[in-house]
Structure 1
Amino acid sequence: MRYRRIGDVKVSAIGLGAMPLSIPGRPDRDAAIATIHAALDAGVTLIDTADAYTSDAQGHNEELVASALAGRGEEVLVATKGGLVYRAGGPSDRNGTPEHLKAAARASAKRLGVDAIGLYQLHRPDPGVPWEESVGALRELQEEGVIRLAGVSNATTAQIRSADHVLGGRLASVQNQFSPSYRSSENELDYCAEHEIAFLAWGPLGGASRAGEIADAFPVAAEIAAELSVSPQRVILAWELALQHTMIAIPGARRPASIRDSARAADLVLTADQIARLST
């Protein structure tokens, strides 16, 4: 397993995106917990969750992750997010007010069973609240010891720069969508690498969940996978890790086999030619 850094914490280059374990189509509870345990056993030391990852009630995914990590919490950095409020039957509502974020962080810490959240990220910018005020709440949470590391998600380069300033140069992570089919965050990725900020790629497989779907969506990855006798998803994740030293991919998984295969991408080294073919 290769490792990267989020702030002062060393984590696996491949994390587990836990959202699929709590949204429609999710596995049953035992299978979900087995998937998280498989990630740990494969060397994954970063688990990504959020209070809005649910189809039931706010915090479902955090509570699931906490249950799975009982007795093993010291092995991983749990990253959670606040700023979205689950609304049944529709998209989550944004709430980036300092009051909401402070209350949400404390509720997340309680659900996760921790004194301080390892990494807490602002889920999405709230257009109704000045960005600096939302990020300022993270700074206060950090100063109060409610969270250890602070990050932002779905942010532009200008917002990243502003967040780092508000946090006094302590912005630890940026979590943006990135995949072969969604590369609009390349500028943000490069900025993070230049400033030693971890870039957590969500949706790194472009929304495809099975090998056949991934092969159809990304034929070059399928070709290289055949050359290397590995899965196309492993090739895509290895390509993403090769783009910048601060890149961390967080693929979602519903089955133990999926995260076991994804974790192996951390040890897959692609040639310069293969990287170039995937990058075109």
Structure 2
Amino acid sequence: MNRQLGKTDYSLYPVGLGAMSLSIQGRPTTTEAIQVIQAFVENGGNFIDTANVYCLDDSDLGHNERLIHSALALIGKNDYVLIATKGGLRRPRGEWIVDAHPTWLRTSCEQSLRDLQRESIDLYYLHASDLKIPFEESLGALMQLQQEGKIRYIGISNVNLQQLTLALRLTSIAAVQNRCNPFFKKDFHNGLIRQCQTQGVSYVPYSPFGGRHNYAHLSSYPLFQKLSKKYNASPYQISLAWLLQKDNNIIPIPGTGKVKNVLDNTLSAKLRLNQEDIDAIDQIPED
């Protein structure tokens, strides 16, 4: 059942945990957040996605990474879980500002190592491309950090096909993390997921339900209500099962602040949809 991360030796449970909602505005209590992380791991999960900017603002940088370390340390699972984090953004006054300058990427990576209390980061993403900095310059900073042993594998996030193609010419890419869900399927149409498949790159969809402000749309959508009854599964399990059956290089990272949702999400890896139902989801009009 497990899925390989790119061409690496990591074997991952098919559904990861996106930890962002545990640290941004509206976040749960620390106790509740730790329970979510522990429930994920105790139910077989071993891939957690974070970032230094999953926090309230620049004064809170690293909150999510420190939280994850604390949760895993409590159950003695720090070495069991692959943690993916990112660099390339800032959070002034709570805003989300791209800064992929090599100096900031180095500063961010080295602070993430301290916050995660690790000697090397398993998977480090360039969080976003910076219009002020050549893409290859930002990627070069990650390559240098990898040579120094501070990063084990490199990923890229919020990228297009052209940027993926350029990145693959420069270095080995383990994963691409982009937004993808039944209402936002452009990477299935623009060749990016196909390129990931042929090049042995994992595709890691974030916001697999539409994001924290749009997930209710999925649960109320008629097709998902119909399939939910047919398979005796939640609409969210249906959405994850659809992604998982599109290709075996896809590892979705749904986020949640509730333990019961973690259990729901992890069970989706065992759900099999009929091809006609996969095709029906494929035909849902995009936002």
> Which category describes the TM-score, using the shorter chain as reference length?
over 0.9
In the alignment, what sits opposite 2:202?
198
What CA distance in whole angstroms lies between the structure 1 residues aligned with 2:143 and 2:94?
A: 33
**Residue 220 (structure 1) aligned to one of 223, 242, 264:** 223
CA distance in 1, matches of 2:151, 2:215: 37
Q: Describe the SS at the equivalent of 1:185.
A: helix
Contact 2:84–2:125 (CA<8 Å) still a contact in 1? Answer: yes
Q: Does 1:77 align with 2:82?
A: yes
What is the CA-CA distance between 1:211 and the residue it aligns to?
7.9
Inter-partner Cα distance in structure 1 for 2:246 and 2:146:
30
Pairwise CA distance, 1:210 = 9.4
Q: Tell me how far apart the structure 2 counterparts of residues 276 and 183 of structure 1 sit (CA, whole Å).
A: 13
- Once the 2 structures are TM-superposed, how far is the Cα of residue 161 of structure 1 from its aligned partner? 1.1
How much does 1:8 deviate?
2.4
Q: Does the 8 Å contact 1:2/1:266 carry over to 2?
A: no
Asked whether 1:207 is paired with 2:211, we answer: yes
**Which moved further from structure 2: 44-53 or 3-12?**
3-12
**CA displacement 1:187-212 (0-9 Å, x = unmatched):** 21121111110010000001257986
Give the match for residue 143 of structure 2.
139
CA distance in 2, matches of 1:257, 1:49: 20
Letter in 1 for 2:167: A
C-alpha distance in structure 1 between counterparts of 2:216 and 2:87, whole Å = 34
What stretches of structure 1 move > 6 A for 4+ residues in a row?
none
Residue of 181, 184, 203 corresponding to 1:182: 184
Report the aligned-residue RMSD.
1.5
User: Which residue among 144, 157, 161 is the counterpart of 1:157?
Assistant: 161
Deviates more, 1:139-148 or 1:200-209: 200-209
| Deviation for aligned residue 1:244 | 1.5
- Which of residues 90, 93, 111 is equivalent to 1:88? 93
- Long gaps (5+) in structure 2: none
Aligned equivalent of 1:41: 42
| Contact 1:189-1:244 at 8 Å conserved across structures | no
Aligned-residue identity in percent = 35
2:92 alignment partner, SS class:
coil
Distance 2:105 2:245 in 1: 34
> What is the match of residue 3 of structure 2?
3
CA distance in 2 between counterparts of 1:154 and 1:125 reads 7
TM-score normalised by length of structure 2: 0.92
Contact 1:4/1:13, CA 8 A, preserved across alignment: no
Residue range with higher mean Cα deviation, 2-11 or 224-233 = 2-11
In the TM superposition, residue 27 of structure 1 has moved relative to its aligned partner by: 0.7
